[in-house]
A and B are shown apart, each in its own frame.
Chain A
Amino acid sequence: MSAVEVQEAQIAHDLHKVVARDVNVYYGEAHALKHVDLDIGSNEVTSLIGPSGCGKSTFLRCLNRMNDVIEGCRVTGQITLDGEDIYDKSLDVVQLRARVGMVFQKPNPFPKSVYDNIAYGPRIHGIGAGKSEMDEIVESSLSRAGLWEEVKDRLEKPGTGLSGGQQQRLCIARAIAVNPEVILMDEPCSALDPIATAKIEELIDELRQNFTIVIVTHSMQQAARVSQKTAFFHLGTLVEWGDTQELFTNPRDERTQGYITGRFG
Chain B
Amino acid sequence: MSTSQGEHIVRSFDTELEELNQTIVRMGGIAESLLATAIQALSRRDSELASRVVKSDGEIDLLEQKINEQAVQMLALRQPMANDLRAVVSALRISSDLERIGDYAANVAKRSMALNQVPPVQPASSIPRMARLVQANIKRVLDAYIAQDAEMALDVWHSDGEVDEMYTSLFRETLTYMMEDPRNITPCTHILFIAKNIERIGDHATNIAELVHFLVKGVQIEGGRPKGDTTSYAVMEPKPNAEEAPANGG
A residues with CB within 8 A of B:
220-221, 224, 248-251, 254, 256-258, 260-265
Known: A257-B82, A260-B81, A261-B83. A250 touches B218 (CB 8 A): yes
Known: A262-B10, A263-B9, A264-B9. A248 touches B4 (CB 8 A): no
Known: A258-B6, A261-B81, A264-B9. 16 other contacts (CB 8 A): A220-B81, A221-B79, A224-B81, A249-B82, A249-B85, A250-B86, A251-B82, A257-B5, A257-B82, A257-B83, A261-B8, A261-B84, A262-B13, A263-B4, A263-B9, A264-B5
Chain A residues whose CB sits within 8 angstroms of the CB of B10 once the complex forms: 262
- Asked if B161 is an interface residue, CB under 8 A from chain A, the answer is no
CA distance A47 to B160 in the complex (A): 44
Main secondary structure of the interface of A (DSSP, over half): helix
Q: Which B69-92 residues have a C-beta within 8 angstroms of A?
A: 79-86
Partner of B82, one of A221, A260, A265: A260
B side interface size, CB within 8 A: 18
- Asked if B219 is an interface residue, CB under 8 A from chain A, the answer is yes
Q: Check A249 against B9 for contact (C-beta < 8 Å).
A: no
Chain B residues whose CB sits within 8 angstroms of the CB of A251 once the complex forms: 82
Which residue of chain B is the closest to A252 with respect to CB atoms? Answer: B218
B104 nearest CB across to chain A (Å): 31
A-B residue pairs in contact (CB < 8 Å), sample of 30: A220-B81, A221-B79, A224-B81, A248-B81, A248-B82, A248-B85, A249-B81, A249-B218, A250-B86, A250-B219, A251-B82, A254-B5, A257-B82, A257-B83, A258-B5, A258-B6, A260-B81, A260-B82, A261-B81, A261-B82, A261-B83, A261-B84, A262-B8, A262-B9, A262-B10, A263-B7, A264-B5, A264-B7, A264-B9, A265-B5
